[in-house]
Structure 1
Amino acid sequence: MKIQGKMFIWLSVFVLAMAIVYGVWSKEPAGTTALFLAFGLCIMVGYYLAFTARRVDAGAQDNEDAEVSDDAGELGFFSPHSWQPLSLAVGGALAFMGVVFGWWLLYFSMPVILVGLFGWVFEYYRGENRTQ
């Protein structure tokens, strides 16, 4: 992960330079704002990857002599039967339609989003998967 963190940090430096140049030359606020927000996103991802790389063992991607098979194995736990992302997607779609059709639609989307978020966070703390 060390190389990915460095790549995003260097990308953020480039995007910041381009945002400044674009802002000075074009004097157009929307594109300049978008580039500064892209800089912020790049810096956040780069910082997270660099921060995480210090706390985990070096991966195969950090070794120049590594083979593709060196990175094989378990990638993590992924829930095989969760319906909560669908609930969040429906709630998010309703919320974005509220921006288009009227803010009153948020009254219907927020409960769907909150139920989906609550269900996803506490998915393994109830029922047969509950820890004792």
Structure 2
Amino acid sequence: MKIQGKMFMWLSVFLLIMAILYGLWAKEPIGITTLFMAFGLAIMVGFYLGFTARRVDPGAQDDKEADVADGAGELGFFSPHSWQPLGLAIGWALGFLGVAVGWWLLYFSVPIILLSVFGWVFEYYRGENRTQ
């Protein structure tokens, strides 16, 4: 993870330089704002990856002498299935439709969104997946 953090930090430096040069040269507010926001996002991801790299064991990508086979094996836990994203997508689709059609549709979309988020967060705290 250390190398990914460094890559995002270098990307953020590049985006900051480009934002400043673009601001001086083009004087166009939308592009300047977009580049500064991209700089902010890149530095957030780079900081997160660098911070996380200090807390976890180094991976195969951090070793300069590693082979491709050194990266094989289990990488973490990934949810095999979940119906909650579908409910969340339906809720947000109704919400955006409510902005276009009528605000009354939000009365139906907000409970669907809240139930889907709640179900997704607490998905592994109930039923057969519950741990003691």
When the two structures are superposed, what TM-score results if normalisation uses the length of structure 2? 0.89
Pair 1:29–1:103, CA change in 2 (3 A): farther
Q: 1:117 aligns to what SS in structure 2?
A: helix
1:6 Cα deviation (Å)?
0.6
Cα offsets for 1:73-107 (capped at 9, x unmatched): 112222223101111222233333444x1561433
Question: Which segments of 5 or more consecutive residues in structure 1 lack a partner in the other structure?
Answer: none
Aligned counterpart, 1:14? 14
Q: 1:37 to 1:98 in 2, by over 3 A?
A: farther
Which residue is equivalent to 2:49? 49
1:128/1:26 CA distance change after superposition, 3 Å: same
Distance 2:37 2:24 in 1: 16
Count residues with an aligned counterpart.
Answer: 131
2:38 & 2:97 partners in 1: Cα distance? Answer: 25
After the TM superposition, which of the residue ranges 24-33 and 48-57 deviates more from structure 2? 24-33
Runs of 4 or more, structure 1, over 4 Å off, are none
Paired residue secondary structure (1:54): helix
Q: Which residue of 1 aligns with 2:35?
A: 35
User: How far is 1:70 from its partner?
Assistant: 0.5
Question: Do the aligned partners of residues 130 and 97 (structure 1) sit closer, same or farther apart at CA in structure 2, a change above 3 Å counting?
Answer: same
Per the alignment, residue 93 of structure 2 pairs with 93
Match of 2:24 in 1: 24
Secondary structure of the residue aligned to 1:124 is: helix
Letter in 1 for 2:80: P
Q: Distance in 2 between matches of 1:52 and 1:119?
A: 27
- Relative to the length of structure 1, the TM-score reads 0.89
Identity within the alignment, %: 75
Which residue in the other structure is 1:120 paired with? 120
Letter in structure 2 aligned against 1:9? M
Question: Are residues 91 and 36 of structure 1, via their aligned partners in 2, closer, same or farther at CA, if it must alter by over 3 Å?
Answer: same
- AA aligned to 1:62 is D
The alignment's C-alpha RMSD in Å is 1.7
